[in-house]
Each structure stands twice: as C-alpha cells, then as structure tokens.
Structure 1
Amino acid sequence: MRLEALWQQAHDARWLIVSGGDQAELCDVFASRGIAEWLNVGILGSPITKN
C-alpha cells in the first residue's frame, strides 16, 4: 500500500517522524515531497531535545 493511501484511510491518527537525523534536513525533505503536512504531531530529529 502506498503511504498516501494509508494516510487517507487513517488521517485522524497521530502521524510523526522520529529520527536521529538533522531536524532541519528532515523538515526540508518531507516538505519537498509534500508529506510534511500529513505529520500532524511533527518531525522530530536532532538536535531537538526529546522527552
């Protein structure tokens, strides 16, 4: 199943990315692919402190 189809079926779910990658780079990549707006919880990468 494609990610977009999954998102359409579960768009009310909490969507996020958690990665050790650079925060700014992750945001740029997901925004350029048109996916960032699906991530309603956020994109969490380094160096942002995580709880």
Structure 2
Amino acid sequence: MSTVIENLLSRKQQLVEQLERTQSLEERDRIEQQLEQINTALDFLDRPGPSDAQ
C-alpha cells in the first residue's frame, strides 16, 4: 500500500507545482478538485483498519 501512498503524494506535489504556475481560473478549479480527491484518498488510506484497532 505504501506505493499507492507514494504515488498519491507524488501526484499531489505535481499538482501543487502546477497550481502555482497556473493563471486560468478554470484550470485552478480543476487542479484544486483533483487535490481534494487526493487528500480524501490519503485520509482514507491513513485510517486504521479493523485489524489495526485495538
């Protein structure tokens, strides 16, 4: 699962860099939406599963 997290973090970094360079409001909205999806996925993957909770 760490590979999935690494890929998400890498994509997040790329999007943040792209967001810093982008002037178009439409493009910024699209990037911000993708960042929200990545953050949601990272939050979901970071939650302890049933076998982890004790």
What's the TM-score once normalised by structure 1's chain length?
0.29
Between Structure 1 and Structure 2, whose CA radius of gyration is higher? 2
- Name the structure where helix makes up a greater proportion of residues: 2
